[in-house]
Structure 1
Amino acid sequence: MEKKTEFLPAEAEKKAAISLKASSTAWPDGDPSLDLIIPGLPNDLAFLCLAFLPFSHYNRLKPTSKAWRSALSSKFLFDLRREWRRTEEFLCVFPSDPSLSTGALFDPRFLLWSLLPPMPCHPHRFDLSNFVCASAGSSLFVLGGSFFDARSYPLGVPLPSSAVFSLSLPDFSWQPRSPMLNGRAGFACATRPSADGRTCIFVAGGGSRHLELGVGGLRIGAVEWYDVEKDEWFAMDEQLPDVRAGCVGFFLGEDEFWVMGGYGDCRTVSGVFPVDDYYRDGAVLGLKRGQWRSIEPMWEEGERWRLGSIVVVEGECGEAPEIFMLEESTIFRFDKASNKWDIESPLPRKIQGDRSNGFTALDGELHVMSEMTTDLDLSRTQKGVPLFIQVYHPKKKTWKFLRTKSPVGNIDFRYTVMCSIRL
């Protein structure tokens, strides 16, 4: 008896087969018999072939024909990629106001960049900063931020934004979404993973501070969540224990929404110079009970000034997620048992001076991105700014190095907004 080769578990194969049978109703232009994607193949098999191609090549393949453009821009194709476990994780980068400058999508496997279309702009609002981006399904969301309004007085006072926009990656189109109940900038935001397919985005805290202003601004402690399918926001009765802005948020599992760091009240030095009081603690919202519990201070007084850049690496095969922090040229791992940050590994290549660096997690690896101080390995005749990426694997304790060029010019990672998305 011939042995069957299993590419997927039986349950996943069954789901994929059902999806292929439904492809005739999901074909973007109606009747799939009108246009064959690949001559000689039924469209259901052609969709499956396209699902196995790297997403980074989709834009190059769309001009092949109208049928290919429609197929590669269909939501059904991306659902098929998920069911057949052909998804890839990408990094979304917004160097500044996405309505005025171009964002980009980075593929670390092929070192390829894809430019994103600009977000719809407002005729009176300008210089959006301190916004947050998050991913849900095959869409990117840009939420909140701080901006200036040409109609307001005085003109130099920033205002918090409640606006929300989503970018559909299958067809690269922006859509306005329901605004948040509270305008906020520099807030904690995270997408809740859900086994039942219901995707929600939680936000907490925030303020009105603009990046051009070092101090000042409002702080809030309000918490709300967004139902992506219903396009509706809901307020939560339980607010943050303290008002805080400039904080970071993430989920550990489906039940716990963590909020760390940030700043609260402002104090003055010598009665003249205002400075922020940064938090050394955090808070965790248990969604089942709907209550917050406090996280004790995570470092001693004077050990560090503020919380560094935070990322979460999801666990595999039922393992618990891990929390990592980049501070200057050292990566730390958070030990929940002792509530302390332990040194994980120093960077092989130190960050020189006050140069900024980006910190993100992709496919279970930690990526530290910085502009190269020299471009001996990349020709100056090529367009783009050279970037050096140090990649650390937390399980293997190994490093590797990548070099690429930014298609969006100089990137100041202190002000750049980034998030990952799986397509």
Structure 2
Amino acid sequence: MEEARWRSERETPIPGLPADLAMECIARIPFFFHPELALVSRSWRSALQSPDLFAIRVLAGATKPFLCVDVRTRSNPTNWFLLDPSSSSVVPLPPPPIRAAGSACASIGHLLFVLGGATGGIATPAVQIYDARANRWRRGPKMRAAREFAAAGAVGGRVYVAGGCLPSTEPWAEVLDMEEGRWRPLASPIAIREKWIHGSAVLGGKLLAMADRGGLQFDPEKGRWSAVSEVLDRGWKGRAAAVDRVIYSYDFLGKVKGFDPEMGEWREVEGVDQRLPKFLAGAMIADLGGVLCLAWEGGRGGGKMMCAAVKVEKKERRLMGEILWKEMVELGAPADSSLSHCLSLHV
């Protein structure tokens, strides 16, 4: 509606320039300036919220991946931030409609999906979707089951979720078809079901989940569940992410390692030990536009986060890492804050 009104009135955000040319200029402005620019005038706000703007940004090569980070404090279970770690820029997101702890998360392009979680100690089936292009939240279609600490991931433009509920719950797993706008149950044998999921990732078009009794994987093409390989299962500690068909986690000594299905074994990421801490207390891992990104709490006084981007190359069955950058990001969060989620959005 905003876009239609802007076009119908033939307003231009930049006086003296035709509207189309003004949009070309605006599309090249770094995304982090958009919230401030939206306050300039109604025509600027309409232009920045126009669906055309993102298409122009794509054609102009102005889009890039950003980290979307969730921070938990004693008084608030969820506080989302959008980060450009390479420049240490940070923008707090608007508060979500529901502040739930233990949610599962997934992303598709510029959309962040926050699934379930618990409010007041009670699990919810709520789905919350953040649109980074519009900088606002909306409610999505509710899941068929209430969940907390579930596995989640996006495959082929669909969002999959499993667990986070009693094994007897129907459906134990389900999928959100964005075109249909509804959840569909996924068949899952009772023998594989568990309540708590400790980590999840998407690798090779499959949703992987780590539970108490071992790792599981769901193949959307075949519609089947199966156990992950014994080697992958033994080496997966919890938090993980896949980058370029390699799943990364860390071992009990705090070293970053990767599992390549083609090699069928875990390998330490070499060349990064001197500049990275031992992740004994854990770290967040994300795919930042094809680069391995690590995020962890750090810095004196609390409320700060450390980020590092690692380029990994396979060389003769070895994983050779190169740290592209390492930055401290000031979140402005209380000293008792801790990281809950970290994933990327493309804007």
Q: Which TM-score applies when normalising by structure 2?
A: 0.84
- 1:78 and 1:138 in contact (8 A); partners too: no
Structure 2 residue aligned with 1:323: 247
Q: Does residue 145 of structure 2 align to residue 186 of structure 1?
A: no
5 Å-filtered alignment, 1:84-95, equals 84-95=60-71
- 1:222 and 1:239 in contact (8 A); partners too: no
Alignment partners' CA distance in 2, 1:86 and 1:240: 47
Alignment partners' CA distance in 1, 2:179 and 2:229: 36
Q: CA deviation at 1:251?
A: 3.3
Structure 1 residue aligned with 2:86: 109
Structure 2 residue aligned with 1:295: 228
Q: CA deviation at 1:30?
A: 4.5
Secondary structure of the residue aligned to 2:39 is helix
- 2:291 and 2:312 in contact (8 A); partners too: yes
Letter in 1 for 2:288: L
Structure 2 residue aligned with 1:366: 292
Q: Which runs of 5+ in 2 are unaligned?
A: 314-319
Q: Does residue 333 of structure 2 align to residue 333 of structure 1?
A: no
Identity of matched residues, % = 23
Letter in 2 for 1:282: L
Alignment partners' CA distance in 1, 2:76 and 2:176: 22
TM-aligned CA distance change 1:38 to 1:357, over 3 Å: same
Letter in 1 for 2:340: T
Letter in 2 for 1:116: L
The one of the two structures with greater contact order (alpha-carbon pairs below 8 A, sep at least 6) is: 2
Of structures 1 and 2, the larger Rg is shown by 1
Letter in 1 for 2:200: G
Q: CA deviation at 1:115?
A: 0.8
Q: Does residue 312 of structure 2 align to residue 394 of structure 1?
A: yes
Q: CA deviation at 1:322?
A: 2.1
Q: Which runs of 5+ in 1 are unaligned?
A: 1-24, 122-126, 149-157, 194-198, 209-216, 264-277, 316-320, 375-379
Q: CA deviation at 1:218?
A: 8.5
- 2:255 and 2:279 in contact (8 A); partners too: no
Q: Does residue 331 of structure 2 align to residue 409 of structure 1?
A: no
Quote the RMSD (CA, aligned, Å).
Answer: 3.1
Structure 1 residue aligned with 2:197: 246
Alignment partners' CA distance in 2, 1:353 and 1:422: 27
- 1:220 and 1:243 in contact (8 A); partners too: no
Query: Which of 282, 307, 323 is the matching residue for 2:216?
Result: 282
Q: CA deviation at 1:250?
A: 3.5
Choose 230-239 or 180-189, whichever is displaced more.
230-239
Deviations, residues 105-154 of structure 1 (Å, cap 9, x unaligned):
11123211111111124xxxxx7321022223432221111332xxxxxx
Q: CA deviation at 1:176?
A: 1.5
Q: Which TM-score applies when normalising by structure 1?
A: 0.70
Alignment partners' CA distance in 2, 1:30 and 1:57: 21
Alignment partners' CA distance in 2, 1:389 and 1:353: 13
Alignment partners' CA distance in 1, 2:15 and 2:48: 16
Which has a greater percent of strand?
Answer: 2
- 2:241 and 2:287 in contact (8 A); partners too: yes
Deviations, residues 85-123 of structure 1 (Å, cap 9, x unaligned):
4221111112138976532111123211111111124xx
